Amino acid sequence: MKQITNTEIAAVVIGRNEGERLVTCLESLLNSLSTIVYVDSGSSDNSLSAAQALGVEIISLDMSIPFTAARARNEGAEYLFNKYSHLKYIQFVDGDCEIQQNWLEKAVGFLASNSKYAIVCGRRRERHPEQSIFNQLCDIEWDTLIGDAQACGGDALIRLTAFQQVAGYNDKLIAGEEPEMCFRMRALDWKIRRIDAEMTLHDAAMTKVSQWWNRAKRAGYAYAEGYYLHGKSAERFKRKQVFSICVWAALLPAMIVIAAVFHCVFLAVFVIYLVQIVRLTIKNRSNVDQLSHAFYYAMSNVFGKFPQFFGMMRFALNKWQGRRGTLIEYK
Q: 217 in a domain, yes or no?
A: no
Query: Of all helices (H) and strands (E), which one includes residue 195?
Result: strand 191-202
Tens of pLDDT, residues 33-82? 989 999 998 888 888 999 999 999 999 998 888 889 999 999 999 999 99
1 pLDDT above the threshold of 60: no
Does residue 166 share a domain with residue 285? Answer: no
Whole-number pLDDT of residue 31: 84
Q: Do 202 and 235 share a domain, yes or no?
A: no
Range of the domain at 236: 228-321
* 213 inside domain: no
Buried b (16+ CB within 10 A) or exposed e, 232-262: eeeeebbbebbeebbebbeebbeeeeeeeee
| Residue closest to 40 by CA, chosen among 28, 51, 26, 29 | 51
Return the closest-CA partner of residue 37 out of 1, 70, 84.
84
Same domain, 46 and 128: yes
- Give percent above pLDDT 90 in the chain: 86
Domain shared by 187 and 304, yes or no: no
Rounded CA-CA distance 79/62 in Å is 14
Which 3-state string (H, E, C) describes 267-280?
HHHHHHHHHHHHHH
187 and 266 belong to one structural domain:
no
Please determine, for residue 278, whether its predicted confidence score (pLDDT) is greater than 80.
yes
For residues 201 and 135, is the Cβ–Cβ distance under 8 A? no
Question: What is residue 85's predicted lDDT score, i.e. its pLDDT?
Answer: 87
Please report which confidence band the pLDDT of residue 315 belongs to, taking 50, 70 and 90 as the band edges.
Answer: very high
In a domain, 191, yes or no: yes
Burial (Cβ within 10 Å: 0-12, 13-18, ≥19) of residue 81: middle
Q: 249-258: per-residue pLDDT in tens?
A: 999 999 999 9
CATH number at residue 73: 3.90.550.10
- Of residues 81, 74, 148, the one with CA closest to residue 118: 148
**Residue 86 falls within a domain, yes or no?**
yes
**Residue-wise pLDDT tens digits, 123-135:** 999 999 999 999 9
Would you say residue 299 has pLDDT above 70?
A: yes
Could you tell me if 63 and 190 lie in one domain?
yes
> Which range among 13-17, 156-160, 162-166 shows the weakest confidence by mean pLDDT?
13-17
| Percentage of the chain modeled with pLDDT above 70 | 98
Quick check: is 105 in a domain?
A: yes
Q: State whether 184 and 64 are in the same domain.
A: yes
| Average pLDDT over the chain, rounded to an integer | 94
Is residue 3 a part of any domain in this protein?
no
Listing DSSP states for 216-268 in one string gives: HHHHHHHHHHHHHHHTTSTT-TTHHHHHHHHIIIIIHHHHHHHHHHH-GGGGG
Tell me, yes or no, whether 265 lies in a domain: yes
Q: Return the amino acid letter for 23.
A: V
Q: Is residue 329 part of a domain?
A: no
Q: Is pLDDT of 288 > 90? A: no
pLDDT of residue 309: 98
191 and 253 share one domain: no
Q: What is the mean pLDDT of residues 148-158?
A: 97
Are both 280 and 138 inside the same structural domain?
no
Distance (Å) of CA 91 to CA 82, 178, 183, 280, 326? 16, 13, 19, 34, 26
Closest CA to 149 of 115, 178, 109: 178
pLDDT digits (tens, 9 = 90+) for 221-251: 999 999 999 999 999 999 999 999 999 999 9
Is residue 193 domain-shared with residue 279, that is, in the same domain? no
pLDDT at 5: 53
- Check whether residue 129 and residue 200 sit in a common domain: yes
Number of domains in the chain: 2
**Cα angle: 13, vertex 17, 20; to 5 degrees:** 75
Predicted local confidence at residue 6, as pLDDT = 66
State residue 258's pLDDT score: 96
Same structural domain for residues 173 and 278? no
Residue closest to 315 by CA, chosen among 210, 213, 237, 226? 226
Output the pLDDT for position 19.
Answer: 87
Q: Model confidence over 86-115: pLDDT tens digits?
A: 999 999 999 999 999 999 999 999 999 999
